[in-house]
Amino acid sequence: MGIATPEVYQEMINRAKERKFAYPAVNVTSSQTLTAALRGFAEAESDGIIQVSVGGAEYASGSTIKDRVAGSLGLAAYAAEVAKNYPVTIALHTDHCAKENLDSWVRPLLAHEAEQVKNGGLPSFQSHMWDGSAVPLEENLQIAEELLELSQAAKTILEIEVGVVGGEEDGVSHEINDKLYTTVEDGLATVRALGTGEKGRYLTALTFGNVHGVYKPGAVKLRPEILGEIQQAVGAEVGKENPFDLVFHGGSGSTAEEVALAVDNGVIKMNIDTDTQYAFTRPVVDHIFRNYDGVLKIDGEVGNKKAYDPRAWGKLAEAGMAQRILEASQWLRSAGQKLG
C-alpha cells in the first residue's frame, strides 16, 4: 500500500485511537534497516511508522558527509519506492529534533515539503518531532506554535514533547528524577497554547517516568496512570474525551502491563529503537562466531565468500529486526489491524 498520504495518516491515527492500539514507530538508519522495518510490519499485518533521528539521518547521508537533510530525504525517497511492494501503510517521521537542530534539519524539511504541496505533490514525511524538553515549557510551546503553523502548510503533523525523558537521545540528556513526570498543569498549558486540533493536529509525548536507553524491567519506575489523569483533567476543561494523541518514548524494559495501560490511556505511537538495534545486530554476531574462518581470511587462507557476502548476514539481521517489530505490534495491539 506504500507511504500514507496526509489524509490516510489522519485516518491511521483516528483508527488507533478508536480501537485502542498503538503503532510501533521504528527508527532506521539505512536502506537495510528500513527494509527490515517494512518486513516486520508486513509480517505483523500492521501499519506503522518509520522514523529517522538526526544522527540516523546524518549516517544515512554517508558517515563522512553527515548531511541530515540529504539523509532524511534519501531515506524517504527509498521508502516511497520500496514500500509499494509491502501490503501495509507506512508513515514517515523525523524523531527528536532539539532546538539547536531546528534550523539545519526540521525547518528546511518543512520548507521543502511546503513547496512540494504548493506544487500539487505530497510531502516527503508525514510528521516531524520538535523536542523542547531541554527548554522551559513556555519557550517549548512558543516554538511548537510556530512549527504547528509551518506543519499546516506542509500538510504534516507535528509531534511535541511536554515533560522530560531521562537518559540520552541524540545529544539531549536528562537525569532520572521527579522531572520525568508531566503534570496536569503542563497538559493544560499545552492545549491553551496549541488548541485541540483547530490550529492543526499534533501528537504529544507526555512523560510518565520514561527513560531512553537500555534497562531491565523494573529498573525504571513508569506510571502510565498519569496519562489517564492528564487526559481526564484536560478533557474536562476543553469538553473533549481523551484530547491528546499520545506518544510513548523511552519504552525499553517496559512490561506488557505498563504498555497496555499506556495504550488504554490514549497512546497511539510507541517509539522503538534500542530493542530493534539489538535485534538487528544479534544475528550478525551469531553468524560471525559460527563462520569465523569463513568471514576472515585466517592464516593466509581465502575465507568463504558465501560467509562474508553482506547479503548472508544482512538477511539474518533483517529477519531478527522484523521479528522484534512483530512482537512489538502484538504488545501494542496493532497486529492484524492494517488498513484495507
Q: How distant is the alpha carbon of residue 239 from its chain centre?
A: 29
Beta strand 267-272 with 89-97 is: unpaired
Catalytic residue among 47, 95, 170, 275: 95
What DSSP character marks residue 242? S
Annotation says 95 is catalytic: yes
C-alpha cell of residue 12:
491511521
Say how far residue 181 (Cα) sits from the centre of its chain: 20
SS3 at position 167: strand
Contact (Cβ atoms closer than 8 angstroms) between residue 25 and residue 245: no
CA distance 170 to 273: 12
Beta strand residue intervals within the chain, DSSP E: 2-3, 23-27, 48-53, 89-97, 127-130, 157-162, 167-169, 172-174, 202-206, 245-248, 267-272
| 8-state DSSP, 211 | B
The set of catalytic residues is 95
